[in-house]
């Protein structure tokens, strides 16, 4: 449930001055943010790249923004990493991709979708490298993968690279507005010479059809997960003459040999997040076996006039851990986030921008308007212990191994109210 009571356009509150702006999540002060890209942990530093329009809070002229953190708590704005190349294959935008530490020298290499004058239907895969600690990047003009036209596929994008069986592979999302989602597979031991290797998975698979119905699968991620493999896809549908972003599914299964390469055989699945504004997550499998995930939360239910007036749109979630369980997987807050907790807050009314609610049972969070009207945001805790992390307009709920991302937009003079037996803590980044 979202609650929009913002009057920011009347008060001209821009960027972080807007009470709805999430100050702990590491997004730029202005402009558009969508898909997380290129997650990496290099030399003890966490790096998160993301789709970004620095000029306006709308999707267009997409760059790769960049933030880094030593601890997953304090985020530092880095220079823009990738920029559209005038007249080049990414002239329209540098869209979603991943980051590979390539070769014996572990050269940071961004692998991404380049959209040029031909639009998304003629997107190609491009690479860029960094030699200064992921701060600046050299974008290479030659496409490393150009999808071959095939029936039932209109768009191919969002490369994600993984290793299996002593080789390096890449998977891309694909589909058609009147078709069904599919994943294309490439062999890419040489990141500059990709070889098509057929399809990794299609919606003909009954498990995939049940848990991940879509016209196009976007932003595929495939990582080792315990003794299985975890696949995550975002669900793109064509509806009423336009596209709809309909959530994110996970599929758990095995990789099997196939005629051209590999086949993913899923056995179970589910929703990665229960909220309506969570989309296009990216996974990071670390060297110590950990799997983290960040997702994009959209402003779907905010008044477009408020978005324009405040100058920002979109935010990435807090990092979450994905854990294998007998039921499939658990989604829990990264344990580092406990480091954001400060003093315990008394009473039931919260005027802080950022706070956490912890309860062993049912609890309700409401947003109270300046005239005293309470508007429900979420009720949780009926299935056991619950944590609710609030940062501006972003509300992240964790209970029973599930996550739900919600939005509620406080205006000046609003307050939060917590009902139920619980404890609350102010959240703040550690002092520098």
Neighbours of 12 (CB within 10 A): 10
Query: What would the two tokens of residue 282 be?
Result: 């990216």
35 is catalytic: yes
Q: Could you tell me where the DSSP H helices lie in 223-361?
A: 304-310
| DSSP category for residue 329 | E
What is the radius of gyration, based on Cα positions, of the chain? Answer: 21
Closest to 79 in 3D by CA, of 23, 38, 137: 137
**Are the beta carbons of 397 and 386 closer than 8 angstroms?**
yes
* Long-range pairs for 369-372: beta carbons < 8 A, 24 or more residues apart: 369/5, 369/411, 369/413, 369/414, 370/411, 370/412, 370/413, 370/414
Catalytic residue among 18, 35, 90, 205: 35
Element spanning 170, H or E: strand 167-175
- Residues 185 and 198: their CA atoms lie apart, in Å, by 6
Return the SS3 of 106: coil
Active site residues: 35
């Amino acid at each position: 449930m979202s609650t929009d009571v913002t009057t920011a356009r009347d008060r001209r509150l821009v960027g972080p001055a807007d009470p709805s702006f999430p100050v702990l999540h590491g997004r730029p002060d202005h402009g558009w943010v969508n898909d997380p890209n290129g997650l990496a942990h290099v030399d003890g530093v966490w790096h998160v790249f993301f789709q970004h329009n620095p000029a306006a809070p709308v999707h267009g002229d997409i760059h790769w923004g960049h933030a880094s953190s030593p601890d997953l708590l304090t985020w530092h704005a880095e220079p823009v990493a990738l920029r559209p190349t005038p007249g080049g294959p990414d002239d329209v935008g540098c869209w979603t991709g991943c980051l590979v530490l390539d070769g014996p020298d572990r050269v940071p290499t961004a692998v991404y979708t380049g959209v040029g004058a031909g639009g998304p239907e003629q997107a190609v895969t491009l690479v860029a490298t960094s030699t200064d600690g992921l701060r600046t990047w050299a974008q290479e003009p030659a496409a490393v993968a150009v999808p071959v036209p095939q029936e039932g596929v209109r768009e191919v994008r969002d490369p994600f690279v993984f290793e299996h069986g002593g080789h390096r592979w890449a998977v891309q999302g694909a589909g058609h507005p009147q078709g069904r989602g599919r994943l294309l597979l490439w062999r890419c031991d040489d990141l500059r010479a990709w070889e098509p290797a057929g399809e990794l998975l299609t919606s003909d698979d009954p498990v995939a059809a049940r848990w991940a119905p879509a016209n196009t699968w976007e932003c595929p991620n495939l990582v080792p997960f315990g003794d299985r493999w975890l696949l995550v896809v975002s669900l793109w549908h064509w509806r009423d003459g336009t596209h709809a972003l309909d959530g994110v599914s996970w599929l758990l299964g095995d990789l099997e040999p196939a005629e051209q390469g590999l086949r993913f055989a899923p056995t179970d699945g589910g929703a990665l997040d229960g909220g309506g504004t969570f989309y296009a997550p990216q996974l990071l499998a670390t060297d110590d076996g950990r799997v983290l995930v960040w997702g994009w939360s959209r402003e779907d239910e905010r008044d477009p006039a408020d978005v324009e007036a405040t100058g920002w749109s979109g935010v990435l979630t807090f990092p979450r851990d994905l854990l294998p369980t007998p039921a499939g997987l658990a989604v829990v807050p990264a344990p580092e986030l406990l480091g954001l907790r400060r003093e315990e807050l008394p009473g039931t009314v919260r005027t802080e921008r950022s706070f956490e609610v912890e309860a062993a049972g049912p609890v309700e969070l409401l947003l109270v308007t300046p005239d005293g009207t309470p508007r429900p945001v979420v009720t949780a805790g009926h299935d056991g212990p619950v944590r609710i992390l609030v940062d501006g307009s972003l509300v992240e709920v964790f209970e029973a191994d599930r996550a739900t991302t919600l939005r509620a937009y406080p205006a000046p003079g609003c307050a939060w109210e917590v009902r139920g037996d619980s404890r609350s803590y102010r959240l703040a980044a550690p002092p520098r």
